[in-house]
Structures are given as C-alpha cells and as structure tokens.
Amino acid sequence: MPEELYLPVIEGTTRPGRQSLNVAKFLVEIGNAIDGVKSELVDPTNFNLPGDGKDEENKDSKYSKITKEADGFFVVVPEYNHAYPGTLKRLLDSELKNYRHKPVSFAGVSAGPWGGVRGIENLIPVVRELGLVATFGDIQFPSVQNIFNSDGKIEDPELKESYAKRANKAWNELIWMTKALKWGRDNL
C-alpha cells in the first residue's frame, strides 16, 4: 500500500472577517476526500511568530513540525493591494530547509474580479527562493464573498461542482508533483 501523502493547506492571512478561510477549509475537505492524501488547515492565527527571520527564537515549533513532515503544500493566497499578505510572508520566511524540493499549489482569493492572481504572481519568486517548486495548477476564487454563504459553504450546486472540479484538478497536479519530488528527495 502506498504511503499517505501529507499535504497541508496554509491559510494566508489573519485578518478579521477573512473570506480566504472558507476557501482553505473547502480545499482541506476536497484534499481529504482523495485516497492517499492527508490534509489539514494551517491557520496562522494558531502560531506565535514574534519577529522576522528564520532564527530559532522567531520560529514556532508547531509550524516547524508541519513543514518538516509535509510532502507538499497548498497555499491560499488572499490578494490585498495587488499582493499577498505580510502574514503569509512572515509564516513562509520562518522556515527554509523544510521546504527544499517540495511542491506548492496556490488558491488565489480576492473580493474583486482577479481572484488573487496578482498575489500569486508576486509570491512565485519568493517560493522559488525558499526552495519550493510551484505547480501550474492554480485555482482562483474571484469575488469570494459571492461564492460562500455565511456558514462558509458553497450553496449553489452548479457553482460547488465547478469549484470542486477545479480544486480536484489542482490537487491532482499537486499530488503528481509531490510523488515525483518525494521520489527525488528519497533517491537522489
């Protein structure tokens, strides 16, 4: 039996009223429905990251453990002012060696029509510098406030099916890249 892949979903902001949390929970649900995948929500509000940098006193041991054990990542990128949130940068910067040769997929989120594309595009050079390998299977959630209801669910069956299909496509690409890079890390 193949080893289970651990692919956590990193929520990219701590802002009150964040709609991206609904996206992250949706992606965790989709990921956990895939055979051979274990996913969980990585919420930055659950970590203490007091400063900048990767020195030990600025790390959170819980986040370090997650990044060390993860085979890859799905990052939810809310777009604020044409970029990704500082919270996400701070979280990602706290680790380095744990990311090397691991894949990352992105879900862009915005209140406007762009679906977080600009935030993702700004983040690509950062993840490359961290040693992560970006997949090409991004998924966008434009006008996110019109997608999820107040309970954080997608009510419209057609919309839910459409987003589930796109999410599965992104997950499948992440899984493929995860298996390839995991083999490389283990054998090369």
Print pLDDT tens along the chain (188 aa). Answer: 578 999 999 999 999 999 999 999 999 999 999 999 999 999 999 998 877 766 777 789 999 999 999 999 999 999 999 999 999 999 999 998 999 999 999 999 999 999 999 999 999 999 999 999 999 989 999 999 999 999 999 999 999 999 999 999 999 999 999 999 999 999 99
Specify the pLDDT at position 62: 95
| Whole-Å CA distances, 85 to 24, 47, 74, 123 | 15, 16, 16, 10
Specify the pLDDT at position 137: 83
The helix (H) or strand (E) run that includes residue 68 is: helix 61-69
Specify the pLDDT at position 58: 77
Specify the pLDDT at position 33: 98
Q: Give phi and psi for 59, each to the nearest 5.
A: -105, 155
Q: For the chain, how big is the Rg over CA atoms in Å?
A: 16
Write down how long the chain is. Answer: 188
Closest C-alpha to 22, from 137, 159, 169: 159
Specify the pLDDT at position 42: 99
Domains and CATH numbers, the chain: 5-187 (3.40.50.360)
Entry pTM: 0.96
